[in-house]
Structure 1
Amino acid sequence: MSGHEAGGLKESGERFSSSGFILAAIGSAVGLGNMWKFPYITGLYGGAAFFLMFIVCMVVIGLPVLLAELAIGRGGRGSVTTSFIRLSGKKSWGAISFLSILAPFFILCFYSVVAGWTIHYAIISFTGKLYASGDYAGQFSAFIGGWLPVLWHFVSMLVTAAVIMKGVSSGIEKFNKVFIPGLIILLIVLMIRALTLEGAGEGLSFFLRPDFSKITTESALVALGHAFFSLSLGMGTMITYGAYVDKRQSLGSGALAIGAGDLVYALLAGLIIFPTSAAFGLEASQGPGLVFVALPAAFGAMPFGAFFGGLFFLLLAFAALTSTVSLLEVPVAFLKDTFGLSRNASAAIAASLIFLIGVPCALSVGGAAPGLTFGGKTLFDWFDFILSNIVLPLGGFIVTIFVGYAWKGAAEEAGLRAGWFRLWLFMVRFVAPILVILVLLYSAGIIRF
């Protein structure tokens, strides 16, 4: 009997508590991108001015789409495809929404690799090995150019699968109830350390002083895209998590709490990266190079640097693993719901396939396995580019069209009062689809400003 016939997640009894849902969703939203992508684009597009625009974009498009995804999940009480079919009564919507099953599956193939890097760097920082030679660029190149990243990719997937196998309340919820408070503590400790560094004031001023002259159409689209992606939209995670939310939980207040949590994380990340970069003369626009090469040099030069460096990479590992857990739950819920497999079997199958596909991604970055570069991009880079710039915006566009035009029960499930519902529906029907398509065209390089 298939999952559709058996009732799938609808009758599984798996549910989040109210606080567990908020923490799990925040865990999904916060990730590695806020530590290297956010500082880069914030510095490039006007510091505090860009951050303010990011907040506006989150309110205008991020929260409406987030609420739409949560409503689909709770209304359908199934995996992504099952929820779309149940709510629309049409199997064609299940086929269309399958894109949001593929997205997190393939994202994990490369994201888990980077999660493994953070675990490795946390260990060698706490032990002091990271700072022994002083050649941080050479050390990073040697690491990603070997086979060791495959081991750490395996470790990150093993931890992720172990959490998922324990279920929603005993696994995902308990995991996030430990890791999210831990994440906050690490952020605060590292922020205090960064703000007390000599020369940190310049970086703080740069981050918090707006430069409105850098606000352009391009910067607005970048802010829009980052608001969209930072909330884990378009990849099925919030739809899947929504299926485990109790009917008594207010989805509107839940969406606001998730958005607020993501904003606080982005703010604290900026208060760590910019002061530290200024204190040691680093460029905050280096992306992964900042995290694995430049910042280790900074930690190596400060008192108790090995300890604070270890805390920083532990912070990154926490952020990465809370995201990998939410990503893996999407294909696991699909396998359970569609084929009637057990949670353990679904997690083992999905995690094993992701690990195997991730191996060539891991080996392509540093050139350990030749022949994995195409058109000037490594296999890792192609996965990242296609999924982040094409697949995720398409997934978000599908959600807006479905809620805006195909599903008639959105009002009841969203639980909004008449005035707020009309505003939300207007945003989802007319504003969000246009803006998401603009983000897609810009991110894919089809339009330029």
Structure 2
Amino acid sequence: MEKRETLGSRLGFILLSAGCAIGIGNVWRFPYITGKYGGGFFVLIYIVFLLILGIPIMTMEYSMGRASRRSILPAYRMLEKKGTKWHLMGYLSMAGNYVLLMFYSVVSGWILYYAVQMAAGRFDGKSTVEITSVYAHMISSPAILTGFMLIIVLITAVVCSNGLQGSVEKITKFMMIALILIMIVLGIRSLTLPGAGKGFSFYLKPSISNIKKAGVWNVMYAALNQSFFTLSIGMGGMEIFGSYIDKTKRLAGEAVIVTCLDTFVAITAGLIIFPACFAYGISPDAGPSLIFLTLPRVFSSMALGRLWGTLFFIFLFFAALSTMIGVFENLQAFAIDLHHTPRKKAGLINGILIALGSIPCALGFNLWSSFQPLRAGNTIMDMEDFFVSNICLPVGSFVIILFCTWKYGWGFENYLSEVNEGSGIPVSGKLKWYFKYVLPVIVGFLVVYGIVTYF
């Protein structure tokens, strides 16, 4: 067996894992649903689900990676019992990683485009109609969407081609530290705006009336759903970083730290967005409209708005690029582990594959917008997101749970031995019944409910 590349530090492992988990959804989804579904109460429910669902599955991915020193497909092959077919799940996980990057690269391109436009003063003093026209121009332009997507893919491929420690780890550490510092500065600025208190109250003040309005079960499902998808578990995104670390620390503690970082970014994003929106009397919306229509209006109204807006889109760009690099590193590991491809050659091949594969998503908003898969109004990106979010992540997690807890897979005893190797927080063997029977039911519900409600 050839020598496995390793990360240079524990901090590198934590920030790489957090970088892969922290993404655009932390900024344009979490804050809005927190305000909508009960504020502080929703956050409490969300944290409970992180503890009972997200962290256990993350430790399973880490354990599979560290025990096998391989990416997800060869990890299944190495750890499964002879004659079993668990490794077939690895192919779906690989497909999910490729498809994820094929739409994430396009959205990351939007963010880079906006960072450039904001820095150039394109939004200074602009009206709502003018700001909307900037977004409409971007979406309708195949050249802009494809061009900025190619820049994102090129940056990602170059970073992941130049070594694990010297490039991937070093650059991700810089981006994540910069991201956190920029967020703190923006959060302080937003909270000091006149009238910001209303936004803070809307966001984090516990609201029974909002819970009643939305419905208790809807709130519970929204918190469960967000806690599951925020950590990017189920497709080997965490497993690969587990394969790069030593056995000095128990894996539960590492999972808790990464989860805390992810949650910190999500909550702080809301502290930036809502006080600013309420201070300027602008209604916060969810999804792309929040980032590309609402917030530019806020920054255009603010003193030094160009500076604050540029910082915001740089922060968001770092969040998107860290996810791109984390997932692309998975693709690198597939090529290296399965075909013994040199890292630079793997980066070139994967870069070309992702660039070509991302073109349909970019064109789905303009030249190919008449193609509406799955349901009316859908874009190609919606179809790709459905495949990743509703199939690959939850089904992958379901299989990982069974594999790590049932004797026909790797088995609970093997998982327990690996997760508790080193010093730190242990996972108790008394949790076997919960991991083996309750977790699969929760994730199975997510799979079925997610697909049924989508259609």
TM-score (norm 2): 0.92
Deviations 1:274-316 (A, max 9, x none): 1112112333333110100111011000100011000010010
The answer to whether the aligner puts 1:138 opposite 2:133 as a matched pair is yes
For residue 342 of structure 1, what is the aligned residue in structure 2?
Answer: 342
**Cα distance, 1:108 vs structure 2:** 0.6
For residue 86 of structure 2, what is the aligned residue in structure 1?
Answer: 93
Q: Contact between 1:43 and 1:285, CA under 8 Å: does it hold in 2?
A: no
Deviates more, 1:249-258 or 1:177-186: 249-258
The answer to whether the aligner puts 1:212 opposite 2:219 as a matched pair is no
Q: Contact between 1:97 and 1:398, CA under 8 Å: does it hold in 2?
A: no
**Cα distance, 1:144 vs structure 2:** 1.2
Structure 1 Cα separation of the partners of residues 57 and 30 of structure 2? 21
The answer to whether the aligner puts 1:282 opposite 2:282 as a matched pair is yes
Whichever residue aligns with residue 285 of structure 1, its letter is D
Structure 2 Cα separation of the partners of residues 319 and 182 of structure 1? 10
Let me know the Cα RMSD of the aligned residues.
1.9
Deviates more, 1:166-175 or 1:307-316: 166-175
Q: Contact between 1:153 and 1:355, CA under 8 Å: does it hold in 2?
A: yes
For residue 160 of structure 1, what is the aligned residue in structure 2?
Answer: 156
Pairwise mapping of residues 59-208 of structure 1 onto structure 2 (< 5 A)? 59-90=51-82, 92-131=85-124, 133-134=126-127, 135-147=130-142, 148-208=144-204
Ranges of 4+ aligned residues in structure 1 off by more than 2 Å? 11-16, 130-134, 280-286, 368-375, 416-421, 423-428, 445-448
Distance 1:168 1:428, change over 3 A: farther
Q: Contact between 2:71 and 2:243, CA under 8 Å: does it hold in 1?
A: yes
Structure 2 Cα separation of the partners of residues 437 and 390 of structure 1? 11
**Cα distance, 1:370 vs structure 2:** 4.4
Structure 2 Cα separation of the partners of residues 306 and 418 of structure 1? 45
Distance 1:358 1:424, change over 3 A: farther
Q: Contact between 2:250 and 2:426, CA under 8 Å: does it hold in 1?
A: no
Q: Contact between 1:131 and 1:300, CA under 8 Å: does it hold in 2?
A: yes
Deviations 1:193-233 (A, max 9, x none): 11111211001012221123516122212211211111111
Q: Contact between 1:81 and 1:93, CA under 8 Å: does it hold in 2?
A: no
For residue 397 of structure 2, what is the aligned residue in structure 1?
Answer: 396
Pairwise mapping of residues 242-261 of structure 1 onto structure 2 (< 5 A)? 242-261=242-261
Deviates more, 1:123-132 or 1:154-163: 123-132
Structure 2 Cα separation of the partners of residues 278 and 358 of structure 1? 36
For residue 4 of structure 1, what is the aligned residue in structure 2?
Answer: none
Structure 2 Cα separation of the partners of residues 238 and 221 of structure 1? 24
**Cα distance, 1:89 vs structure 2:** 3.5
Structure 2 Cα separation of the partners of residues 297 and 178 of structure 1? 30
Whichever residue aligns with residue 125 of structure 1, its letter is M
Structure 1 Cα separation of the partners of residues 279 and 351 of structure 2? 41
The answer to whether the aligner puts 1:379 opposite 2:380 as a matched pair is yes
Whichever residue aligns with residue 410 of structure 2, its letter is W
Structure 2 Cα separation of the partners of residues 109 and 306 of structure 1? 30
Structure 2 Cα separation of the partners of residues 434 and 369 of structure 1? 39
Identity between Structure 1 and Structure 2 (%) = 34
Q: Choose from 419, 440, 444 the match for 2:447.
A: 440
For residue 30 of structure 2, what is the aligned residue in structure 1?
Answer: 38
Structure 2 Cα separation of the partners of residues 418 and 12 of structure 1? 26
Whichever residue aligns with residue 266 of structure 2, its letter is A
Pairwise mapping of residues 398-413 of structure 1 onto structure 2 (< 5 A)? 398-405=399-406, 406-408=409-411, 409-413=414-418
Structure 1 Cα separation of the partners of residues 430 and 55 of structure 2? 12
How many equivalent pairs are there? 439
**Cα distance, 1:331 vs structure 2:** 1.8
Deviates more, 1:123-132 or 1:379-388: 123-132
Deviations 1:135-186 (A, max 9, x none): 1111101111102111110111111111111222112210121011100111
Pairwise mapping of residues 19-30 of structure 1 onto structure 2 (< 5 A)? 19-30=11-22
The answer to whether the aligner puts 1:360 opposite 2:338 as a matched pair is no
Deviations 1:341-360 (A, max 9, x none): 11111121122111111111
Residue 237 of structure 1 aligns to a residue whose secondary structure is: coil
Whichever residue aligns with residue 407 of structure 1, its letter is W
Residue 364 of structure 2 aligns to a residue whose secondary structure is: helix
Whichever residue aligns with residue 309 of structure 1, its letter is G
**Cα distance, 1:42 vs structure 2:** 1.1
Deviations 1:318-375 (A, max 9, x none): 000000011111122111111111111112112211111111101212x244443233
Structure 1 Cα separation of the partners of residues 425 and 100 of structure 2? 38
Q: Contact between 2:233 and 2:397, CA under 8 Å: does it hold in 1?
A: yes
Structure 1 Cα separation of the partners of residues 191 and 62 of structure 2? 37
Structure 2 Cα separation of the partners of residues 146 and 87 of structure 1? 48
**Cα distance, 1:397 vs structure 2:** 0.6
The runs of 5 or more residues in structure 1 that have no matched partner are 1-6
Structure 1 Cα separation of the partners of residues 123 and 105 of structure 2? 21
**Cα distance, 1:446 vs structure 2:** 4.6
For residue 308 of structure 1, what is the aligned residue in structure 2?
Answer: 308
**Cα distance, 1:423 vs structure 2:** 4.2
Structure 2 Cα separation of the partners of residues 439 and 382 of structure 1? 18
Q: Contact between 1:199 and 1:275, CA under 8 Å: does it hold in 2?
A: yes
Q: Contact between 1:101 and 1:331, CA under 8 Å: does it hold in 2?
A: yes
Q: Contact between 1:144 and 1:363, CA under 8 Å: does it hold in 2?
A: no
The runs of 5 or more residues in structure 2 that have no matched partner are none
Whichever residue aligns with residue 371 of structure 2, its letter is L
Q: Choose from 407, 415, 420 the match for 1:415.
A: 420
Structure 2 Cα separation of the partners of residues 287 and 294 of structure 1? 10
**Cα distance, 1:18 vs structure 2:** 1.1
Whichever residue aligns with residue 311 of structure 2, its letter is L
Structure 2 Cα separation of the partners of residues 447 and 317 of structure 1? 29
The answer to whether the aligner puts 1:18 opposite 2:10 as a matched pair is yes
Structure 2 Cα separation of the partners of residues 404 and 447 of structure 1? 30
